[in-house]
Amino acid sequence: MKTFYITTAIDYVNGSPHLGHAYEKVLTDVIARFRRMMGDDVYFLTGTDEHGQKIQQSAQAQGIEPQAYVDSIAPEFRTMCEKLEISNDDFIRTTEPRHKKVVCELLQQLFDKGEIYKAEYQGYYSTRQEQFLQDKDRNEDGTWPEIYGEVSEITESNYFFKLGAYQEWLVDHIKTNTDFIFPRYRAKQVLEFLSEPLNDLCISRPKERLAWGIPLPFDPEFVTYVWFDALTNYYSAVADKKDLWPASFHVIGKDILVPPHAVYWPIMLQACGLPIPQSILAHGWWSINGAKMSKSTGNFVEPAEFVDQFGVDALRYFLIREMSVGQDSDFSMDQFLVRYNSELANNLGNLVNRTLNMTNRFADATVPEPAEGGEPEATLRAAWQKTHEEVVPLFEQFQFNVGLERAMSFITATNAYIEQRAPWKLGKSQDPADQALLRTALAHMAEALRLGSTLLQAVTPGSVAKIQGVLGYEAGSDWQAELVWDHRLTGNAVAKNCILFPRPEKKS
Ligand code: MSP
């Protein structure tokens, strides 16, 4: 079986991690965990992008050497991953020797093959985007779009990579491999970009303009263009584990699909004679309170702090529940609290509390053996069947938000079942029929809780493990086998109580 090798974009360390970085890690982690649960052998890579102009400028602003600067920020990204309970197998930094070595090897190989040549360039350059511009990039009134920042006219010698030679091949690949770009509608954007002739890519920067980069192996007066360096991380991290390549899945934001991931990267690989990744998933962007997130204006969520305040699963759940993969979404505290209270605390948390409470009160803290029951039990079991059948394919198609909504509806249905059976009333009756029904109801509650929560496992793994713990249950390694309604909890001793999602404290 080929390993499912999945990656995130590697983050620039020119500032602290923000909600967008957190989302991408969590989304990728949910896919990785889900694939593992479905039986795949998964390898998961994330990391940091540490060279280039942006980093050099941030270091300068702090008056320290770039290496000291990246060494001070990269750990924040690593810590964020730990706090978010990201299940990555490796974390690569582009300043590591293992990475630089592979970048140099690929460059040398392309240079030796004649795929890289030196030429004089005269034209416009955007420092902010670290990119050469053409007249077609201008606004209609002749000015430069704001995203480019300051644009200067320069003349310099540089090294170019013959991208253009691979244009037809790439167009053909995208057209014939419909799973190459997800969501599919984004492929159109790539093909539109490729409908214009592709210019060769400048892959060097003269040292005097940018010192902070990997020196070209064939000309140390130049450093490597940051995108050529960064993209190579996906390959350099596994270069000594050749059976992992090609990657199965690159998860990235929509802003870096065209041209870096959908054009430069496949062409770089093809030119090196390496297989290209199977799929690229481009996710949408988060705004905060309807506006672009910005640390300076305070419109910012610090992921690590947020986790300390509300718990890791509250954030993971919100990010996955709120955003439809591929689309943009907005984060607001109000919306977060609505979901936290109505779905996590008052729905799932409440079901956990009631189940433990009543099993303690009426069954000596032991899950009783059920009977067949009546119509309410049959309805609940049928609701499970339907939920189970719907949710797994939704997750397979990356429709995690819809899958979570269905799983939560099943939790709601279980709470409604409890209202209907009212075990607190049955508990007061001495009638043996009522006592039997009480046992059946308690067993159904526990089984529905076990199953409903198991569906959330990729998204809120810690909480699911906690729920299993308080139900006196240890799940097996075959997730799909866990999804069978079979009252396997019968006879288990349950805990007294468990506060999964405490009432959030108001921020002062
Ligand atoms: N270093 C490059 C990626 C190189 S990959 C070989 C980069 N870094 S970044 O720090 O600017 O962005 C990292 C990832 O975070 C990107 O996939 C980007 O789309 C994503 N996000 C940045 N801001 C975001 C939001 N506001 N919302 C969601 N994702 C966002 O680009």
**Per-residue pLDDT tens digits for 324-352:** 999 999 999 999 999 999 999 999 999 99
Burial class (CB in 10 A: 0-12, 13-18, 19+), 66: buried
Q: What residues does ligand 1 touch, defined as CB less than 6 Å away?
A: 9-12, 20-21, 23-24, 49, 230-231, 233, 252-253, 255-256, 285-286, 293
Q: List, for residues 341-395, the tens digit of each pLDDT value.
A: 999 999 999 999 999 999 999 999 999 999 999 999 999 999 999 999 999 999 9
- Classify residue 294 by its DSSP letter: B
- Report the sign of the C-alpha dihedral through residues 328, 44, 11, 51, in that order: negative
Return the ligand 1 atom nearest residue 293 CA: 26
Return the ligand 1 atom nearest residue 255 CA: 19
Q: List, for residues 232-253, the tens digit of each pLDDT value.
A: 999 999 999 979 999 999 999 9
Average pLDDT score over the chain: 96
Cα–chain center distance at 17: 14
To test the ligand 1 pocket, which listed residue (256, 287, 315) has its Cβ within 8 A of the most ligand atoms?
256
The dihedrals phi and psi of 6, each to the nearest 5 degrees, come to -120, 145
Output the furthest CA–CA distance in the chain (Å, rounded): 94
Residue 295: per-residue pLDDT = 85
Asked whether 375 and 421 are in contact (CB, 8 A), the reply is no
Structure tokens at 164: 């253009």
Return the ligand 1 atom nearest residue 252 CA: 17
From the CA of 21, how far away is ligand 1's center (Å)?
A: 6
- Classify residue 299 by its DSSP letter: B
Nearest CA to ligand 1 atom 12: 11
Q: List, for residues 442-473, the tens digit of each pLDDT value.
A: 999 999 999 999 999 999 999 999 999 999 99
From the CA of 117, how far away is ligand 1's center (Å)?
A: 30
Closest Cα to residue 73, out of 95, 89, 90?
A: 95
* Strand duo 219-224 + 279-283: pairing: unpaired
Residue 296: per-residue pLDDT = 86
Residue 146: per-residue pLDDT = 93
- pLDDT at residue 284 tops 70: yes
- pLDDT at residue 310 tops 90: yes
Radius of gyration of the chain measured on its C-alpha atoms: 27
Residue 132: per-residue pLDDT = 87
Structure tokens at 362: 């009426």
Asked whether 496 and 360 are in contact (CB, 8 A), the reply is yes
Structure tokens at 73: 């920020």
Query: Three-state DSSP class for 466?
Result: helix
Structure tokens at 187: 């492929």
From the CA of 472, how far away is ligand 1's center (Å)?
A: 41
From the CA of 9, how far away is ligand 1's center (Å)?
A: 7
From the CA of 10, how far away is ligand 1's center (Å)?
A: 8
Return the ligand 1 atom nearest residue 230 CA: 6
For residues 175-196, average pLDDT: 97
Whether the model clears a pTM of 0.95, i.e. scores above it, the answer is yes
From the CA of 457, how far away is ligand 1's center (Å)?
A: 26
Residue 505: per-residue pLDDT = 65
Q: List, for residues 25-47, the tens digit of each pLDDT value.
A: 999 999 999 999 999 999 999 99
Confidence band for 130, pLDDT divided at 50, 70 and 90: confident
Confidence band for 174, pLDDT divided at 50, 70 and 90: very high
Residue 443: per-residue pLDDT = 98
Return the ligand 1 atom nearest residue 265 CA: 6
The dihedrals phi and psi of 476, each to the nearest 5 degrees, come to -85, 180
* Strand duo 181-182 + 279-283: pairing: parallel
All structural domains of the chain: 332-483 (1.10.730.10)
In whole angstroms, give the CA distance from residue 235 to residue 241: 10
To test the ligand 1 pocket, which listed residue (12, 55, 225) has its Cβ within 8 A of the most ligand atoms?
12
Residue 508: per-residue pLDDT = 46
